[in-house]
A = this chain, B = another copy of it.
Amino acid sequence: MVSANPILLPELRSLLADQDAAGIREVAEELHPATVAEFSEGLEDAELWQLLAALSPEQQAEIFPYYPLPRQVQLLEQADRSHLGPLLEGMAPDNRDDLLRELEPEFVDAILPLVAKAERHDIRMLLSCPEDSAGSLMTTEYASLPGDVTAGEAIARLRTQAPNSESIYYIYVLDHERKLVGFVSLRDLILAKPTTTVADLMQRDVISVRIDEPIELVVQKLARFDFIAIPVVDDHNRLVGIVTHDDVLDAVREEATEDAHLSAAVTPLTDGYLETGLVTMTWKRGVWLTILFATAAVTAMVLARTPIPHAWLIAFIPLVIASGGNSGNQSATLVITALSTGDCHLADWPRILRREVALGLLLGLLLAIPGFLLALLYAPSPAQAVVIPLTILSVVMLGSLVGSVLPLIFRSIGLDPALMSNPFVSAIVDVVGILLYVSIAFLMLG
C-alpha cells in the first residue's frame, strides 16, 4: 500500500540467490530506507542478514529501525556478533534507545562491549531516562555552535559535523558551559550575509523541555510552536539532546491508540491488531472483563438482596443503568481528552466539577421527560411513574460527577487519567445507580 513496487520481494530473493551485492546496494540506494525495510520484511531472518551484510554500515543503520520493533529484537537476538557493533554504532541514538529498551537487560549488557566507548556512555544515559519522559524520546545527535562564529563559517562547520538529516535544520547555540542560549535555523544561516555572527542571527527566546518532563508536555510545546525539533536540557539548562518531529508524531499516534484501548478496558496492544496472538488477546481483554465482571457481580448481589419492590419497575433496570453509564462515559472522555491535550489542568477542578454538576442537571432533566412519558405506559398510576424520571435525573447527575471526578483523582495521584476507562465509570455508576433506583422506589412507593 505504502509504496511502488510489489514485485520487489522476489527480485530481492533472486539478487540474494545470485549473491549480487552490487545489485542489492543499488536497490537500497534508489529507495527510501523505509521502503527497503517494507519490502524485505517478508524475508527469513537469515536472508535478511544476508541482505543487510551486502550493504554499507550506514545503509544498514538507516534501514534497520524501519522494521517493526519485535522483528528488530528477533533479528538482533539471532545476529552474528560481528554485525552488531557497527549496526548499533551507526543507528540514530533515539532509534537505538527504542530498540534496547525492548531487550532483556542481560542481553544489553552482553552486547554493549561491542559498541565504542563514547556511544556506550550515550546509550546508558538514554536508557536511564524514565519511560514517559522527554529523555526517553530524545536523540543525542544535534548540531551546535558557539555564538561568535559567522554564518559562513557555521555552514562550513555543519558540512563537517553534518549529523543525520533530522537534526541539521536547527542549530543550537551554546555558551562555554554548554548552556543553551539560543538557536538558529539552517534557513536563516543560508539567507544571512556570510559575515553576520550566529549570535546576531539567533533567536534568544528558546523554547525547551527538561529531560524529566513528561512526553505530553513535549508534544504540547512542539505542536504549539510548529518546531521540527525541540531541545532537551538538564536542570542547569545545559543541552543534552533534541526531540524531533517524527518521534513526537509517533508518540502521539501510539498514545492515541493506547488511550483508545484503555478507554475500552483493553490492555494496550504492543503488536498490531492482526499480529497479536489469540492467547495474548484473550489475556489483554479477559483480565479487564473479569475485573468488570466482579463489579457487575456486586450489582447482582445488591439487587438480589434488596429486590425491586414493584414488578413494572424491572423493565426499566437496563434503561436506568444505560442512562447513568452513557452520561458517565461522556464526562470521563471529555475530561480525559481535555487533560491530555493540555486544554484544561488539574487546577481547574472546581470549574470542571461545577460544569459537570450543571450539565448533569440539564441532561438529567432532558432525559427525565421522555422517561416519565415511557413510565406512564407501564406504571399503575402517574404518581408511581415519577420514580423513573427521578431516578434518571439522579443517575445522570451521578454519571457526570463520577465520570469527571475519577480522572481528576487519577491525575492528582500521578496516574494516567485514561486508566479510568469508560467501562469502569459505567461499572461504578451501575452499582450506585441500582442502589439509587431501589432507594427511590422504596421511598416513593413503600
Contacts and interface: CB of A to CB of B under 8 A. Distances in A.
A205 interface: yes
Interface string A200-240: 00011101000000000001111111111000000000000
Interface in A1-29: 1-4
Contacts of A299: 318-319, 322
A312 interface: yes
A304 B378 contact: yes
Contacts of A327: 285, 289
Contacts of A362: 278, 282, 286
Contact of A321 (B35, B318, B323): B318
Contacts of A430: 318, 322
B319 A300 contact: yes
A372 B226 CA distance: 57
B289 A363 contact: yes
A281 B359 contact: yes
Contacts of A336: 260
Contacts of A273: 334-335, 337-338, 343-344
A363 B282 contact: yes
Number of copies: 2
Nearest to A257: B337
A397 interface: no
Contact of A155 (B1, B190, B228, B358): B190
A278 B186 contact: no
A245 B243 CA distance: 14
Contacts of A186: 169, 186-187, 190
B250 A293 contact: no
Contacts of A190: 155, 158-159, 168, 186, 190
Interface in A240-266: 245-246, 248-250, 252-253, 255-257, 259-261, 263-266
A351 interface: yes
Contacts of A378: 300, 304
A32 B185 CA distance: 13
Interface string A306-336: 0110011011111101110111011011111
A48 interface: no
Interface in A80-114: none
A58 B423 CA distance: 51
Given A304-B315, A318-B430, A359-B278, A187 B203 contact: no
Contact of A165 (B165, B185, B272, B319): B185
A64 to B, nearest CB: 14
B32 A261 contact: no
A34 interface: yes
A303 interface: yes
Given A266-B330, A289-B326, A315-B301, A32 B207 contact: yes
A332 B285 CA distance: 12
Contact of A323 (B293, B304, B367): B293
Given A225-B34, A252-B253, A330-B285, A343 B300 contact: no
Nearest to A295: B322
Nearest to A367: B293
B334 A366 contact: no
Given A260-B336, A297-B319, A326 B423 contact: yes
A272 B355 CA distance: 13
B155 A168 contact: no
Contacts of A70: none
16 contacts: A162-B187, A168-B190, A169-B169, A223-B253, A245-B249, A261-B334, A264-B332, A265-B329, A282-B363, A286-B362, A299-B319, A307-B314, A308-B314, A317-B318, A318-B430, A318-B434
Given A266-B333, A322-B426, A322-B430, 15 more contacts: A30-B205, A165-B185, A166-B226, A223-B246, A255-B256, A264-B329, A264-B333, A269-B334, A273-B335, A296-B322, A297-B319, A297-B374, A303-B315, A318-B434, A326-B423
> A-B pairs with the 10 shortest C-beta distances?
A264-B333, A256-B256, A273-B338, A304-B315, A226-B246, A303-B315, A296-B319, A296-B322, A264-B329, A272-B343
